[in-house]
Amino acid sequence: MKGKWLLLVLALPLYASPQSTFLQLYTNPNDRESFKDMVQVSANEYAFITETFFYRVDGNGRVLFKKDMKEGQYTYLESIMVDNTGNFYIAAQVFTTVSTPEIVVYKMTSSGQLLLRKVLSMGSPFKISILPAPNDHFFVAYLMPGPSQHLTLHLLNNQGIDLWKKTLSRDITNQFAAHTAPNGEVELLFMTQGDNRTWITKADLAGNLTEKEILLQQPANLKLHSNDFCNTPDGGYAFSGQTVESSYMGDALLYKTDKDGHLQWKKEININRGDRNTAIAMTTDGFILLCNAGFTENWGSSIDGDLVLIKTDQQGNVQWKKAMGSAKADFATRLLIPDVNSILIGGQVSSPTEIAPLPMLCKTDNQGNLSVTLPFQPVQPATFKKIAVYNGSPVQKLVKLTLIADEAFIAGANLQNPNDDLIYPFILKADKTGQVVWNKQLTKASGLIIGITQTLDGHYMALVEQKGFFGKHYTLTKFNVNGDSLSTTYTGTTMLRDIIGVSDGGFLLTGMEDDGSLANPDLVLIKTDAAGKELWKREIGIAAQWELGRSIKETPDHDFVIAGSSQKAFGEASDAHVVKVNKDGHLLWARTIAMGAGISVLNDVALAAGGAYVMTGSSSPLLSDKKDVLVIMLDKQGVVLWEKTYDLHLRDAGLAVLYTAEDTILVAGSTGEPAAGRLEQYGFLMKLNKDGRKESVQYFGAAGVQTTVEKVLRAGDKIILAGNTQDEYGEGHMYYTTADAVAAAPPGEPVAGSLTLYPNPAYSKAFISMKNNYTGPVNIVLYNTTGQQVLVLQRTKTSFELKEEVPLSNLSSGMYYFFIQQGSDKSVKRLEIVNR
């Protein structure tokens, strides 16, 4: 029995049967649960706990058994272990009443039968940890808050009888880590209050305590925090943690000591921003680190934070970095090496369908990869030119660029400073090979460059956003082709998202301005003179509606068209929104294009033939993982000519649009982003005809990194694509390439011809006519304005035209929306039913 138990705590993996990779999210409709702890049960089974639920899952993450453990007013499960007979032990905080907290240990079978409930102590600790011990015993460690915080350690037998209880003498900080050593002793890692010294305390089965200090010198300018540790074959330790310069900024920390606690080597790993090394595990040739990275100084941001796995060699040198999670905030907490082929992590991942992050269990292969099958073959263009502003910045993101002579360009970029992890705004000039000729930092304090535009007098204007005590403020810096500053002015509003130079020599800015109520932000327009001095400000919107301008274009008539989004105050859904104003900012017309109940936004607008406007963005139904490219064409008066969504792969977004002289629409952006999974995106360039028919799609990028196209523009006979990509996670850089450098791929189905809905408005019936070469299944769904399905039709198209009569006599008057899918081609048509 003892020899079998020792195998369970060896650092080397026990199981070696290959299994598929997975990332699973676990929902509880009525509760928001946090992932707490996990354990391996067998080669094909794991168990984990959230705050109130116990799960057993198979080797692919599928739930085998689930039990609600809540009792009393509140229950917070903290730690889990499994013994040699397959019984589970769970340590928890239980509030039997609001003011009566207990530290409880549960013992139960794999089917959830409760065998034991043991109350160890009264109180609400910072943390509890339960660990296996030899002879069917187990350790429980916990830390109670108070003026003096001391770790308490128990040894119990499998009947819950306390064999001994020890309280450590040192006053420690709010966290500790605990592991069972290969010899059966428990080892506790903690830092003492006041001096931040690091200690390991051991307890044997007789309750004898020995401690040693880990001789990690604390630098004067930052703190070194140790979060986790593992034993190494030489009798020493490897530790994971982070450097701390402020509440969030810092780097991942990895260091190694000998058996006496003397430092052998130390590595600080700058992954992205606000990096934290939460867990460590040893492999046969190095270490696996589980990190949280990409956090910023914005506490509570819903878009900050990724899960990152790092593999190092035995000296702590990074071999690879892999990221998992979602586009929103994610957190990793637990790491386990179940076999030589796999890595298991647990934590929290955000989901588009949920407000709060969901518990997640993820198994990768031993290289940190999740298996992914793509419906397209991405390419890496031969002329993919990396734009490196300077080598010291790990993250360099392109914002805007404008072409100048000989295919050179002036651009704005946001660069991370590796010394403080903050982002600073830069301007740069690069030649046609991507070589940076010069770069200049625009502001001494951190900030974001929002836009850059060419001026009528041959110079350039940059718009920079910075944060102050009372909110955001904006700087306008005018500079020449050599980057020399010509003037600096300031403006203020709630949010700005675009700037253009206009035909009278001044500039127009757009975004959003709030009236102070937080309930009625309107689309804002700010007009300045050639030096950036404000001439006028206009707010355009309606009460209890939030409107945001994202992109501006000047028309040949010197009016302006602004694309963005609109949503009801505090509502979850948003609609595409377009505004046209005259040269003085007075409203000519406004259009809100609803795509059903969901989140629709417009990111870019371009001028089209005949005075029309084409714009792109994204559309995502509420409570759905889907997000599709949205393209809309309006005529000069704002009448919708057509609106279409394009489902490329997983979550897509149109970020840039260009209408060419050949009556072709080029839409570019990102695709292949999972709702949760391997953190990656691919860039795309989609070619449409003037009626929105998809003619080709080009994909490029690489697995496991994020590539986006932010800008499409014409340079003579070339189409230039520019955006952002990575070498691997946390090493972002800007690029540009040409459309000719990327291999074109045909669309999924050749959908050509017309889609017509008539009459519109309609009375008792309407007709849908589909004339194209597509044959196959057709889905027709009619929604009302609340997103409710009121009619569903499924047909099969066998010839060039499918004509469908739609009865309307049982529907009330009002606006409705047809969703029509032909293969991969999806369209939305609005229908108005009038009084009969």
Task: Identify the CATH number of the domain defined by range 380-491.
Answer: 2.40.128
- How far is 583 from 559, CA to CA, in rounded Å? 5
Give residue 11's pLDDT: 31
Q: Give how far the C-alpha of residue 266 lies from the chain's centroid of Cα atoms, to the nearest Å.
A: 30
User: How many other CB atoms are found less than 10 A from the CB of residue 266?
Assistant: 15
- In 3D space, the residue among 563, 741, 580, 571 whose CA is nearest the CA of residue 654 turns out to be 563
Rounded Cα distance between 384 and 296, Å, is 30
CB-CB contact of 772 with 822 (8 Å): yes
What is the structure's pLDDT at 236? Answer: 96
Residues facing 498 on adjacent strands: 510
pLDDT of residue 822: 86
260: tokens are 């006496």
Rg value, the chain, Cα: 30
Question: pLDDT digits over 62-102, tens only?
Answer: 999 999 999 999 999 999 999 999 999 999 999 999 999 99
In this prediction, residue 300 carries a pLDDT of 43
CB 572 within 8 A of CB 566: no
Q: How many CB atoms lie within 10 A of CB 174?
A: 12
Number of Cβ atoms within 10 Å of the Cβ of 158 = 17
Residue 139 pLDDT? 98
Cα distance between residue 263 and residue 384, in whole Å: 44
Q: How far apart are CA 490 and CA 470, in angstroms?
A: 15
Across the beta sheet with 385-387, the strand order is 385-387, 732-738, 718-726, 708-715
Decide if 705 contacts 729 (C-beta within 8 A): yes
Pairing between strand 575-581 and 460-468? unpaired
Q: Select from 124, 120, 38 the least CA-distant residue to 75.
A: 124
Which CATH number is associated with domain 754-833?
2.60.40.3080
Taking the C-alpha atoms of residue 654 and residue 670, their distance in angstroms, rounded to an integer, is 7
User: CA dihedral in degrees (553, 559, 561, 562; nearest 10)?
Assistant: 90
Strand order through the sheet with 358-365:
22-25, 358-365, 342-349, 331-339
Q: Per-residue DSSP letters for 757-773?
A: EESSSBSSEEEEEEESS
Confidence (pLDDT) at 832: 78
Cβ–Cβ < 8 Å for 189, 228: yes
C-alpha–C-alpha distance, residues 519 and 570, integer Å: 7
pTM: 0.83
What residues contact residue 652 under an 8 Å CB cut-off, 6+ apart? 618, 627, 628, 629, 646, 669, 670, 671, 672, 673, 684
What is the pairing mode between strands 628-634 and 640-646?
A: antiparallel
pLDDT for the residue numbered 381: 67
> Which residue positions in the chain have pLDDT lower than 70?
1-19, 29-31, 246-248, 296-304, 353, 355, 381-383, 391-392, 518, 741-753, 785-789, 835-836
Where do the structural domains in the chain lie, given as residue ranges? 380-491, 754-833
Report pLDDT for 13: 33
Query: Backbone phi, then psi, for 459, in 5-degree steps?
Result: -105, -165
